[in-house]
Amino acid sequence: MTSLQPTTAPARPFLDWPVITDPVGWNADIALLGIQHSEPYAHDPFPNDQSRAPDAIRAKSESFCYNPAHWDFDTGSDLASSLPPRHIDIGNVGWSGKGDYGNYAAAITARVRHFWRQGAQIVVLGGDHGVTIPVVDALDAVGEPVHILHIDAHLDWREEVGGVRRGYSNPLQWASKIKAVSGMTQIGLRAIGSARRQEIEAARSYGSHLFSAEQIHADGMDAVLATIPRGCAVYLTIDADGLDPTEMPAVMAPTPGGIYFRQLAPLLRKVARSNRIVGMDIVEVAPSFDFANGLTCIMAGRLILNVLSASWNQGSTVWRSTRN
Ligand SMILES: [Mn+2]
């Protein structure tokens, strides 16, 4: 078994959370972790822009949560009294790009497994979408079946690209092979990505529920919600390009026609109140393009806070009942 290694302290913490990089102190109800790299494809630069996102999102903390004691109208609560006392920022895990990617990935999986064994909720700041892979590899530690809710313009169902299986085009295909994953809902799909006819057919034959962004604009989120078994544990993976680029412009693949915050935030709060969201990631934020007041990082922060607050505040019992 891999022994837990310390992480690297971020430039500043997420909100005002305690930063604990030493595994000795890793006891938490909520643990936030930056994961900077996935397995790189030969055609991409290393490190990529998304590897800077964990600290770029943290740096906007005051913009997405001016004061945790103040009222949050999104969630009808204040964050400070909603969250359980033990919420920590455990820093970042990075990789030099040299040596064995598998060792780096295994160390991430061990860290996440540690927190899931404690019954904690995990929040991951990516990184590109490949960072989801070592996280979902730890889902066995949740101890019950987990449904994956995926927001993305793209299907991300490639088995391999140029021989690489753990990059940003692979995460949902990878997750579909994991025993603890009991089902999948993928929303926001549109335009053209790495998926071909064979990947669409593979996702459908697996039983993944696919919703294009257009379907959601026409029919709303009720049909999406109906595909998530009530009471089932959920892992949430948000690719920033699933949102409309007018709201999350700083992504590598800006794609018109995306999901809006006003559609996604209420869906996530509903899921968080009826299902235990055991973990979430937000990936593919590209800070170099975040010209408009850091809007993309602010959106990322607001989505996280909507999930955390709805998961833990007084109106919700799914997490508090596991703690009482
Ligand atoms: Mn993706």
Ligand 1 center to 80 CA (angstroms): 32
Q: Does domain 23-323 have CATH number 3.40.800.10?
A: yes
What gap in Å lies between CA 310 and CA 229, rounded to an integer?
18
Ligand 1 center to 247 CA (angstroms): 17
Q: What is the DSSP letter of 40?
A: P
Could you read off the pLDDT of 71-89 as tens digits, one per residue?
Answer: 999 999 999 999 999 999 9
Ligand 1 center to 64 CA (angstroms): 23
Token output for 122: 């995990």
Please state, in angstroms and as integers, the Cα–Cα distance from residue 165 to each residue in 175, 269, 287, following that order: 12, 32, 25
Ligand 1 center to 210 CA (angstroms): 14
Please state, in angstroms and as integers, the Cα–Cα distance from residue 180 to each residue in 44, 72, 260, following that order: 31, 34, 30
Q: Which residues of 53-75 are buried (b: 16+ CB within 10 A; e: fewer)?
A: bbbbbbbbbeebbeebeeebeeb
Ligand 1 center to 11 CA (angstroms): 26
Ligand 1 center to 274 CA (angstroms): 25
- What pTM was estimated for this model as a whole? 0.97
Provide the residue-wise pLDDT of the chain in tens; the chain has 324 residues: 458 999 999 999 999 999 999 999 999 999 999 999 999 999 999 999 999 999 999 999 999 999 999 999 999 999 999 999 999 999 999 899 998 999 999 999 999 999 999 999 999 999 999 999 999 999 999 999 999 999 999 999 999 999 999 999 999 999 999 999 999 999 999 999 999 999 999 999 999 999 999 999 999 999 999 999 999 999 999 999 999 999 999 999 999 999 999 999 999 999 999 999 999 999 999 999 999 899 999 999 999 999 999 999 866 778 876 765
Ligand 1 center to 79 CA (angstroms): 29
Ligand 1 center to 157 CA (angstroms): 9
Could you read off the pLDDT of 35-64 as tens digits, one per residue?
Answer: 999 999 999 999 999 999 999 999 999 999
Ligand 1 center to 207 CA (angstroms): 19
Ligand 1 center to 155 CA (angstroms): 7
Ligand 1 center to 239 CA (angstroms): 5
- Angle at Cα 32 formed by Cα 254 and Cα 3, nearest 5°? 120
Ligand 1 center to 293 CA (angstroms): 24
